[in-house]
Chain A
Amino acid sequence: MTTGTSITLLLQASNGVPALALGRGDAIIFDSSTVEALAGSRDYRMLLETGLSEIGAELNDLSLIACDIGPGGLGVTRTAAAFANALGFALSLPILALPAFKLLGAEVAGHSNGSAKPVAILRRAARPHVHFGIYEPDATGGKLVHYEHCLEKSALEQIQNMDDYDLAGNIEVEGHASPVTNMAAMETMLKLALAAPTPAPEARAWPIVEVLE
């Protein structure tokens, strides 16, 4: 790295809406999801060019690329991973892959001010399947303790057995408050990216695959 302004590039996609952010140190300095004119664009190149020019940085200032690998929207998650991987390849940067449910769990646990409730995460897959995860908060942040691609019925049965929980994702559970959110804030993503072990030099993003038997 030739410059002291190391920038982290963050890509999210699996909730269906492409979003790109840039962080300097531990602060988000550009976030496409908060810019009305950019929200909903599927053009990661345009989002990145806009972000870099807005903060007065160049591609070579990037020091880390973190990419959401789902599970979630097939096309947009592949788009983000392919874009991130090729950028990492061309710039000789590794890609830090972050599972969406880890992001969502950390996001919701962060909201609840230390209530330490587990987070049940449900995301729509090809019907009648869902992606189902459980995130356990702890003193150091928390971790994703369960993930499976299963029938919606099976996920709901497992949720019924949980005492108390916060809900995240994009599926309502009868008798429970609506999901807190289906997208982690870029601040949460940056925090997780900076806390993660440095990825191997040629690490790439491999989206979580949904294959029906």
Chain B
Amino acid sequence: MSGLILGIETSCDDTSVALVDRAGHVAAIRTVSQFEIHEAFGGVYPELASRAHLEAILPTVQGVMEEASVTPADLTAIGVTRGPGLIGSLLVGLSTAEALSMAWDVPAYGVNHLRGHIRSVALESGRTEFPAVIMLVSGGHTLIAELKDAWSYRLLGSTRDDSVGESYDKVARMLGLGMPGGPAIDKAAKAGQPVLRLPRPMKNEAYEFSFSGLKSSVARHIEKHPEVSVEDMSASFVAACMDVLAAKADRALDACKPRSLVIVGGVAASPQLRDAMGKVAAKHGVELCLPPMKWATDNAAMIAMATWDYVERGLQPGLMPKPNLSLETP
């Protein structure tokens, strides 16, 4: 199959458009961040996110098409995130894709964003040895799944409340470290010691995660001991998160006996997470697969990459938004 897929991603607060070929080569990608818009609100403000997507999306489509010297006739398909995500944001990408598909006479596929994260590993000649266990850890998601191959997934567990990335952001705010919280906490943690006792929520229970309790105990500790060292608190919080994530990965590698452990999502940028997962993988003798950071956060290249799977299977989910779409539904 030749040609390019135009990927469109608007599930949360970044407007991203990319052109990707079957081999995973990214011909062009542009991502417009809404970080500054939402910073003032301390989180993503759905109405503004939707409006910002609307303003950014067509110039972004035009930008990647021009950059790669591509015309609609060069497109095999358009792939657009249909969920999970914020409804108002999803609708902008989906409606845009719908109109472009109609006017350009190119088929459009509604793609599962989570499948995009998983397929991000295959961008730019990345490889995964299957079967694999994958952990997706980001501001929007925390889940662990077994991949039988590039298409068949089994969800092992996901978070019952906050994602890891969300709790990083919230704790960063409590500690006055600013946004984005992940890198700020990682940096502070390196300068501190994990000396404070924090809970390891659900560590001993199969594959489900829960991080809101951990975040609350950090809040309680800061309230009781306002003099606490920011560095030590950061280090203790990170240690608690890593402890839980590593325990789940360890359990999954034991049970699934995969050939590789794949870590994707924005939190994969954390040196502490890379270190912790490296140890777990080494213990089980499986390959640790960490895609380049530029594909770890939400982006349209991963959506285009995932779209190829749908195209090849002739599976064309419609363009209806599915805010709560689960991993196991294509």
B48 at the interface (CB under 8 A from A): yes
Partner among A49, A75, A85, A211 whose Cβ is within 8 Å of the Cβ of B54: A85
The reply to whether the CB of A159 lies closer than 8 angstroms to some CB of chain B is no
Query: In the complex, what's the smallest C-beta–C-beta distance from A204 to chain B, in angstroms?
Result: 7
Q: Which of A69-127 contact B (CB under 8 A)?
A: 74-75, 78-87, 89-91
A40 to chain B, nearest CB (A): 14
- With contact pairs A45-B98, A59-B103, A90-B103 given, residues A82 and B54 touching in the complex (Cβ less than 8 Å): yes
Among B45, B57, B96, B97, the one with the most A-chain Cβ atoms within 10 Å of its Cβ is: B96
> Across the interface, which residues of A come within 8 angstroms of B48, CB to CB?
209, 211
Main secondary structure of the interface of B (DSSP, over half): helix
Known: A74-B88, A82-B96. A87 touches B102 (CB 8 A): yes
Residue of B nearest to A93 (CB): B103
Whether the Cβ atoms of A86 and B99 lie closer than 8 Å is yes
A48 to B101, CA, bound (A): 13
Closest to A86 in B: B99
In angstroms, Cα B168 to Cα A99, docked, is 42
B54 touches A90 (CB 8 A): no
Q: Does A165 belong to the interface (CB within 8 Å)?
A: no
B residues in contact with A49, CB < 8 Å: 102
Q: Given the complex, which residues of B lie within 8 Å of A82, measured CB to CB? A: 54, 57, 91-96, 99
How many residues of chain B have a CB within 8 Å of chain A? Answer: 28
Asked whether B102 lies within 8 Å of A78 as measured between CB atoms, the reply is no
- Counting CB contacts under 8 A, is A207 at the interface? yes
Query: Would you give the shortest CB distance from B72 to chain A, in whole angstroms?
Result: 8
| A147 interface contact, C-beta 8 A | no
Q: B62: CB under 8 A from chain A?
A: yes
Which residues of B sit under 8 angstroms from A86, Cβ to Cβ? 57-58, 95-100, 103
Could you say which residues of chain B place their CB within 8 Å of the CB of A209? 47-48, 51
B209: shortest Cβ distance to chain A, in Å? 30
Bound-complex Cα distance A78 to B89 (A): 9
Among residues of A, the one whose C-beta sits closest to the C-beta of B318 is A43
Q: Shortest beta-carbon distance, A146 to chain B, in Å?
A: 23
Known: A82-B96, A87-B99. A210 touches B58 (CB 8 A): no
Shortest Cβ distance from residue A67 to the other chain B in the assembled complex, whole angstroms = 11
Bound-state Cα–Cα, A83 to B62, Å: 16
Residues in A neighbouring B62, C-beta threshold 8 A: 89
Residue of B nearest to A81 (CB): B54
Residues in B neighbouring A210, C-beta threshold 8 A: 47
The interface residues of chain A lying within 8 Å CB-to-CB of B5 are: none
Q: Which residues of the other chain, B, contact A44 by a CB distance below 8 angstroms? A: 95, 98-99
User: Which residues from A are CB-within-8-Å of B94?
Assistant: 79, 82
A169-210 CB contact bits vs B (8 Å, 1 = yes)?
000000000000000000000000000000000001011011
Whether B104 is near chain A, meaning CB under 8 Å from some CB there, is yes
- Taking A204-B58, A211-B48 as given, write out 4 further A-B residue pairs in contact, using a Cβ cutoff of 8 Å, ordered by the A residue number: A48-B102, A78-B95, A89-B58, A90-B100
Which positions in B face A, CB cutoff 8 Å?
45, 47-48, 50-51, 54-55, 57-58, 61-62, 72, 87-88, 91-104
